[in-house]
Structure 1
Amino acid sequence: MSRAYHTRNYDDGLFLAIARKLFVVLPHPPFLWATGGEIGCIERERQALLKFKEDISDEYGVLSSWGVEEEKRDCCKWRGVGCDNITGHVTSLNLHSSPLYEHHFTPLTGKLQGLVPDGFRKMSALTKLVLSRNQLEGGIPRFLGEMCSLHTLDLCHNNLTGELSDLTRNLSGRTESSLEILRLCQNQLHGSLTDIARFSSLRELDISNNQLNGSIPESIGFLSKLDYFDVSFNSLQGLVSGGHFSNLSNLKHLDLSYNSLVLRFKSDWDPAFQLNNIHLSSCHLGPCFPKWLRTQIKVRLLDISSASISDIVPNWFRNLLPKLAFLNISHNLMRGTLPDFSSVDAVDDTFPGFDLSFNRFEGLLPAFPFNTASLILSNNLFSGPISLICNIVGKALSFLDLSNNQFTGQLPDCFMNWSTLVVLNLANNNLVGEIPSSVGSLFSLQTLSLNNNSLYGELPMSLKNCSMLKFLDLSRNQLSGEIPAWIGESLSSLIFLSLQSNEFIGSIPLHLCQLTNLRILDLSQNTISGAIPKCLNNLTAMVLKGEAETIIDNLYLTSMRCGAIFSGRYYINKAWVGWKGRDYEYERYLGLLRVIDFAGNNLSGEIPEEITGLLGLVALNLSRNNLTGVIPQTIGLLTSLESLDLSGNQFSGAIPVAMGDLNFLSYLNVSYNNLSGQIPSSTQLLSFDASAFIGNPALCGPPVTHKCLEGDSPRSPVMNGVIQDNKETVHEFSAWFYTGMENGFCVFFCGLSGALLLIRSWRHAYFQFLDGSWGLLSLYWQLTRLDKKHRQTCS
């Protein structure tokens, strides 16, 4: 699955860092003289800029040209500063930075917090004010509505609250006539859009990612100058018809996505606009393919995913292809065969991307342009030989997902053509044969998923060249041989590794312990033998709890213009993970899991205590092996554990008392072992059904029906050792203590009291002795009570 991000070009200067704090463009100020016959910046404005820099964390040196040194005295020569050629006054601050990826800029950090600063009240000549990406709260103050020259107001990415109508009312003073750009995206505004039409000069309106409700009023059509309209990610609902767009002839960007809107247009509707970007994801457009799209011959980005369309793709759709940079028609019920997409042209060095997933398209893999950057055809009914992917020979392909189809044949040996590939997912098809050695040419690869096919043979050694791999899923195939040691030596970036349900033999290589970034390790359902490595505690990513990243994703290229990346998107990896006795498919929360699954092998020996050092582990499955020995007493250290399966082994001894301290444990299976003694009487363990303990005839006490006899009480070896090691010491101490107290009472008061009062070192030593003696006595009492308690429990 890909996670969609909006694509937008920001061409209006001051966007970066300082722009996130304050973007001010002043009109020409009154004439002021400059000394020395040279025009330079005004000193008080220079000092103001330096003061501003002090409040900014500039880790990347964006403002390195700003300084107090003599050679930097003229602030008009500082980066991003513009001055009037006559007066020397600063008229603009422009620190725009071309994004490497969409929404990714060279950052200047530093945040404005609280209400919109009242100091702007005195700046009545402001033309542009950008306070985006801060922590501003409250609403929009009335004084902003008195700025008669204000034509751009950007308050995106803050924590502004309140009714939208109240906020727009505060702006409806002198700025009703002048405001051209209004950006309030990524806040917490609620209410309706009823008062928006009063800003008749608006060219850009972005109120996306808020909590707006109600319908879109037809009065929006009165904004005849509007060319950018974005209300995505709100709770808008109701009907949208041609009347809403009757006067919007200048509209170029339309984003209504992720609302509950129903779009109903007459079959002969001919809109007045020519859109470049169309975002209508999650709007109800179907069931027919929207005919009005045939008029949009300039469209560059088209997203009509999750739009309830169950029609075929019409023939006229070919006319829209030549200029498309990105097409998303995923998550519909479209059917039939697809047209030839090779006619998409590389206009302006664009590398197009396609997401046609989750439909019912069938037939052979259609042709795509040689310069395709991303191709998502997953969850359809495509069939035929997978070798057709070799027809995509362009050097720009960074993302290929053909999973969950019916492709057949052997993997072609043509991967050397795709040096930029980041994601390759061919899972859940009918592929056979060996993994070709050319897969080792994918030096940029971060995700490789080939699970649930019929691939066989050993892993090609060339795969060790894919050192950037984070996600490797080869499960549910027929791969064989020993697990290569080079996985641990060369693939150090791995976060997810699954070799489940194959035919691997041999032992678990110790080199896997070098995968310090690994969070999920699944070697289950193979024929692996030998012992569990003691070095597993070197998997340090499993020591930390999964609180930061909930997903495991990859950034991939969708298009490029003039040598610069125009848009990047994210692919979210998903995988099947054994969890609480069943297999579940995880996507959004895969990154939170910390899992070791060695079930269904021929492992022998004991559970190494070192494994209990993985404090972030949430699932441990060692079931159906030949493991022996006792369950480690340190199992109680795994406080994050939610699922524990030790069934089908040869474990003996008692269930550790410490297991009752696993407060998050919601699935436990220790059935079919040789465990004995009473099941610890903790609330946690008593909550499990008797089936979790079946197949251990010597176990007694609830929840099983076998009652315990004298001597069956569960005692941890650690506690038993303490009792045995200290038994003689405690008795010896008690006899000495009471005898000494009786015979030495008078000597103490008559002889020692005076000395202790006079000699400080003696006094300290004596009280340390008493403190230690009392500790031993206290230990003796506690052990006696504990032993008595256990005897009463088992009687």
Structure 2
Amino acid sequence: MSRAYHTRNFDDGLFLAIARKLFVVLPHPPFLWATGEKIGCIERERQALLKFKEDITDEYGVLSSWGGEEEKRDCCKWRGVGCDNITGHVTSLNLHSSPLYEHHFTPLIGKLQGLVPDGFRKMSALTNLVLSRNQLEGGIPRSLGEMCSLHTLDLCHNNLTGELSDLTRNLYGRTESSLEILRLCQNQLRGSLTDIARFSSLRELDISNNQLNGSLPESIGFLSKLDYFDVSFNSLQGLVSGGHFSNLSKLKHLDLSYNSLVLRFKSDWDPAFQLNNIHLSSCHLGPCFPKWLRTQIKVRLLDISSASISDTVPNWFCNLLPKLAFLNISHNLMRGTLPDFSSVDAVDTFPGFDLSFNRFEGLLPAFPFNTASLILSNNLFSGPLICNIVGKALSFLDLSNNLLTGQLPNCFMNWSTLVVLNLANNNLSGEIPSSVGSLFSLQTLSLNKNSLYGELPMSLKNCSMLQFLDLSRNQLSGEIPAWIGESLSSLMFLSLKSNEFIGSIPLHLCQLTNLRILDLSQNTISGAIPKCLNNLTTMVRKGEAETIIDNLYLTSMRCGAIFSGRYYINKAWVGWKGRDYEYERYLGLLRVIDFAGNNLSGEIPEEITGLLGLVALNLSRNNLTGVIPQTIGLLKSLESLDLSGNQFYGAIPVTMGDLNFLSYLNVAYNNLSGQIPSSTQLQSFDASAFIGNPALCGLPVTNKCLGGDLPQNPVMNDVIQDNQETVHEFSDWFYTGMGNGFCVFFCGLSGALLLIRSWRHAYFQFLDGSWGLLSRYWQLIRLDKNHCQTLAVRF
């Protein structure tokens, strides 16, 4: 299964910011060019910029155009520097570093590191300072507070620390009345918002994604010029009432989401603003549906998800969304039937709807013809899937975890732009229609846990962009098609679990070099395990940084006035450590092969131990035979290994004790024999992991090994036998030499003692004092012989 998860929002309030970020590929952003060739920059400001360069770390050469050489004398031509073409003063400094979507793209330029430089007082005409998306740390220098012309300060996406009040205090003075745009988002700032109201000229305030706490002060209402306000993803708490917004008549963008705020407004509250974008996710708005929304007739994006609303959707609601771009009312307890959304006049948009995780029931309602994404999962919708639910602009359709019935309609050609189709966990039946092959852009197809039957349509091979294919828990039959490996080369996830597939595993599956998870368990597949599985190169590499398997989609106005970016994160059930678990955020980290519950025969191919990134291997309940490969110890990342219910024989390889991450092991009900290798890892498992192998002995099972019992490993047995023979040869040589030497020594010493009296007297005194020492010496010789034999056996 899979569901939607939204992590990015780009709306009209951010459109200009996004456009500015696109200019990063140019030598100078167009609006920062200096056109006065004869004027040039002012020398003291040039020196201030050079000092700025000295105070930071520039490993990537972002400031390579800055320098003291004669050919670089005009600082107005330096990268990111903008000057007034009449006075020559530096007016703009834009050194932000960022891709548009960090999750999928790499940065276009490097990042500056170090403290925010303290040398701006010499650039008195500076109006715009943009240092966002770098690795700057520390606080805001006091010199910024002396800049009477500064009206834009953007330090978002850095590592700034400390109290917010300490940072804003450095901006007091002349800056207090001039600053219009303040962006401090994505840092590590602490403290409260009590001092923000002093910046009376603010039009845009973004302090999102920090560590701010306390309540939202009512003094925010004094910022009468504010049109953009974002404090999302902090730890703010307390009550928010109409008084907080009493003077904010120009407010267009409001984002209070992902805090612990409680919004309580009077039933007749008529706000002074007309919002375009409303983000109140995870704020407490319920239990009733917010009536004040009835006054907001210009809304383009509305997110009131996870807001503790347990009411029905009022009929008037649809009439208030004439320019809707995205609606998210998911993760509430809303109930009843939905109104007809098809009347929404969204002419200039491709709207998206997320109504998931509620209690809506009845037949599927109709939506606007140009709907781009529709997520209705985890509700109580019933009846058939109808073709006219939306028009041809649909890219994302998730109706999973409902009560839909009937056959899949053969009308997928009407949705040729689909990227995600998730109909999992319903009561759908019949065959998969051939029209599914017309979904050329499809990346996710999830039909698991239905009652679908028949063979896979060959037309599905046309969906060459598929990354996620989950057809598990159905009644699909026939052989696994070879074209899956030939045509669906982008697959990362493939699950055909719990169906009625027959035949052998096609060798063509080894061509799926991007595959992370392969689950063919609980079918009637026979034949041998392919030796070519080591061609699954993504499983050879250990888990990469990318933890999720997702799809990015955009909802935007045709005129380009609004961006709305979303991620759809796939979710699936994966067999793990003897149980099934549902994974989402970390699904992309797993490397799993599950062939359990089939009729596979033959041996485990040694090539499978070349999949060094494998974390779970399940071959249980088959007819496999032979010995467990000695190279099993190469799978250092393995955490779960299940070989139970087969016909494996011989010893458990000693190398299995080297699997340091192994936390689940099951080799029960085989024909294994010999001593369980001694290792901290293997002895930590319960005896039930080895049950059904009566010839196994040693801990943790109760069967004790006899003195001569050793792991029946032919290679190790030869080594042990050779070492034992070496010990015997050494013993024979040692004692023979000892005897001959003793005879010569005894005869010579006896003759001397008989002839020389003083020697004889001293000798007997020596024996009297050293007899104990000689006794201990002979004991050490005997122990050394036994120790040699012991070492040989252990080796």
**Common topology (TM > 0.5):** yes
The correspondence for 1:502, drawn from 493, 499, 502, is: 499
How far off is 1:407 after superposition?
A: 0.9
Find the residue that maps to 1:570 and give its secondary structure: strand
CA contact 1:15–1:94 (8 Å) conserved in 2: no
Deviations 1:731-760 (A, max 9, x none): 999999999999999999999999999999
CA contact 1:526–1:600 (8 Å) conserved in 2: yes
Q: Aligned partners of 2:297, 2:636: CA distance in 1, in Å?
A: 60
How far off is 1:319 after superposition?
A: 1.8
Deviations 1:446-502 (A, max 9, x none): 111000001111111111111111111000001111111111111111111100000
CA contact 1:532–1:608 (8 Å) conserved in 2: yes
List runs of 5+ in structure 1 lacking aligned partners: none
Please say which of residues 191-200 and 350-359 is displaced more in the overlay. 191-200
Rate the CA distance shift 1:206–1:757 in 2: closer, same or farther, 3 A: farther
How far off is 1:390 after superposition?
A: 1.7
CA contact 2:481–2:506 (8 Å) conserved in 1: yes
Please say which of residues 499-508 and 695-704 is displaced more in the overlay. 695-704
Deviations 1:192-211 (A, max 9, x none): 11111111111111110001
CA contact 2:205–2:230 (8 Å) conserved in 1: yes
What is the RMSD of the two structures over their aligned residues, measured on CA atoms?
8.6
Rate the CA distance shift 1:313–1:19 in 2: closer, same or farther, 3 A: closer
Deviations 1:56-114 (A, max 9, x none): 99999999999999999999899988665556777557799999769989953122211
Q: Aligned partners of 2:182, 2:755: CA distance in 1, in Å?
A: 83
Deviations 1:380-429 (A, max 9, x none): 000111xx442155342111100000111111122122232111100001
Find the residue that maps to 2:719 and give its secondary structure: helix
CA contact 1:531–1:603 (8 Å) conserved in 2: yes
How far off is 1:716 after superposition?
A: 3.2
How far off is 1:269 after superposition?
A: 0.9
CA contact 2:366–2:390 (8 Å) conserved in 1: no
Rate the CA distance shift 1:739–1:6 in 2: closer, same or farther, 3 A: same
CA contact 2:369–2:390 (8 Å) conserved in 1: yes
Q: Aligned partners of 2:658, 2:624: CA distance in 1, in Å?
A: 24
Please say which of residues 71-80 and 349-358 is displaced more in the overlay. 71-80
How far off is 1:279 after superposition?
A: 0.4
Please say which of residues 10-19 and 554-563 is displaced more in the overlay. 10-19
Q: Aligned partners of 1:773, 1:727: CA distance in 2, in Å?
A: 35
Please say which of residues 5-14 and 142-151 is displaced more in the overlay. 5-14
Deviations 1:587-636 (A, max 9, x none): 11111111110000000011111111111111111000000011111111
Q: Aligned partners of 2:754, 2:464: CA distance in 1, in Å?
A: 73
How far off is 1:313 after superposition?
A: 0.4
CA contact 2:7–2:567 (8 Å) conserved in 1: no
Please say which of residues 85-94 and 170-179 is displaced more in the overlay. 85-94
Rate the CA distance shift 1:791–1:738 in 2: closer, same or farther, 3 A: closer
How far off is 1:764 after superposition?
A: 53
Deviations 1:105-153 (A, max 9, x none): 9953122211101233422221111110011111111111111111111
How far off is 1:353 after superposition?
A: 0.3
Q: Aligned partners of 1:231, 1:768: CA distance in 2, in Å?
A: 96
CA contact 1:19–1:95 (8 Å) conserved in 2: no
How far off is 1:784 after superposition?
A: 17
Rate the CA distance shift 1:717–1:393 in 2: closer, same or farther, 3 A: same
Find the residue that maps to 1:409 and give its secondary structure: strand
Deviations 1:659-699 (A, max 9, x none): 12211111111111111112222221121111111111111
**Paired residues for 1:581-660 under 5 Å:** 581-660=578-657
Deviations 1:521-560 (A, max 9, x none): 1000000000111111111111222141121111123233
Deviations 1:24-48 (A, max 9, x none): 9999999999999978889999999
Is 1:360 matched up with 2:359?
Answer: yes
Q: Aligned partners of 2:198, 2:587: CA distance in 1, in Å?
A: 47
Find the residue that maps to 2:86 and give its secondary structure: coil
Deviations 1:548-599 (A, max 9, x none): 1121111123233326882221011100001111111011111111111000
Please say which of residues 303-312 and 723-732 is displaced more in the overlay. 723-732
Deviations 1:359-397 (A, max 9, x none): 000111111111101000000000111xx4421553421
Find the residue that maps to 1:322 and give its secondary structure: coil
Find the residue that maps to 1:31 and give its secondary structure: helix
Please say which of residues 739-748 and 193-202 is displaced more in the overlay. 739-748
TM-score computed with the length of structure 2 as normaliser: 0.84
Rate the CA distance shift 1:547–1:506 in 2: closer, same or farther, 3 A: same
Rate the CA distance shift 1:697–1:784 in 2: closer, same or farther, 3 A: farther
How far off is 1:762 after superposition?
A: 49
Find the residue that maps to 1:623 and give its secondary structure: coil
Find the residue that maps to 1:546 and give its secondary structure: coil
Deviations 1:756-793 (A, max 9, x none): 99999999999999999999999999999999999999
CA contact 1:268–1:292 (8 Å) conserved in 2: yes
Q: Aligned partners of 1:334, 1:509: CA distance in 2, in Å?
A: 47
Deviations 1:681-726 (A, max 9, x none): 2221121111111111111222222222243222533323445688
Rate the CA distance shift 1:549–1:148 in 2: closer, same or farther, 3 A: same
Find the residue that maps to 2:208 and give its secondary structure: coil
Q: Aligned partners of 1:142, 1:755: CA distance in 2, in Å?
A: 101
CA contact 1:7–1:102 (8 Å) conserved in 2: no
Q: What is the match of residue 298 of structure 1?
A: 298
Rate the CA distance shift 1:651–1:90 in 2: closer, same or farther, 3 A: same
Deviations 1:308-334 (A, max 9, x none): 000000111122122211000000000
CA contact 1:286–1:309 (8 Å) conserved in 2: yes
How far off is 1:637 after superposition?
A: 1.2
TM-score computed with the length of structure 1 as normaliser: 0.84
CA contact 1:25–1:91 (8 Å) conserved in 2: no
Larger Rg belongs to: 2
Q: Aligned partners of 2:296, 2:511: CA distance in 1, in Å?
A: 54
Q: Aligned partners of 1:601, 1:636: CA distance in 2, in Å?
A: 25
Find the residue that maps to 2:189 and give its secondary structure: strand
Q: Aligned partners of 2:470, 2:756: CA distance in 1, in Å?
A: 74
Please say which of residues 778-787 and 216-225 is displaced more in the overlay. 778-787
Please say which of residues 785-794 and 237-246 is displaced more in the overlay. 785-794
How far off is 1:249 after superposition?
A: 1.1
Q: What is the match of residue 370 of structure 2?
A: 371
Q: Aligned partners of 2:257, 2:623: CA distance in 1, in Å?
A: 55
CA contact 1:15–1:96 (8 Å) conserved in 2: no
Q: Aligned partners of 2:661, 2:718: CA distance in 1, in Å?
A: 29
Rate the CA distance shift 1:52–1:611 in 2: closer, same or farther, 3 A: farther
**Paired residues for 1:249-648 under 5 Å:** 249-347=249-347, 349-385=348-384, 388-392=385-389, 394-562=391-559, 566-648=563-645
Q: Count residues with an aligned counterpart.
A: 792
Rate the CA distance shift 1:679–1:4 in 2: closer, same or farther, 3 A: closer
**Identity over aligned pairs, percent:** 94
Rate the CA distance shift 1:532–1:114 in 2: closer, same or farther, 3 A: same
Please say which of residues 619-628 and 536-545 is displaced more in the overlay. 536-545
Rate the CA distance shift 1:565–1:777 in 2: closer, same or farther, 3 A: farther
CA contact 1:97–1:105 (8 Å) conserved in 2: no
Find the residue that maps to 1:683 and give its secondary structure: coil
List runs of 5+ in structure 2 lacking aligned partners: none
Q: Aligned partners of 1:563, 1:737: CA distance in 2, in Å?
A: 93
Find the residue that maps to 1:160 and give its secondary structure: strand
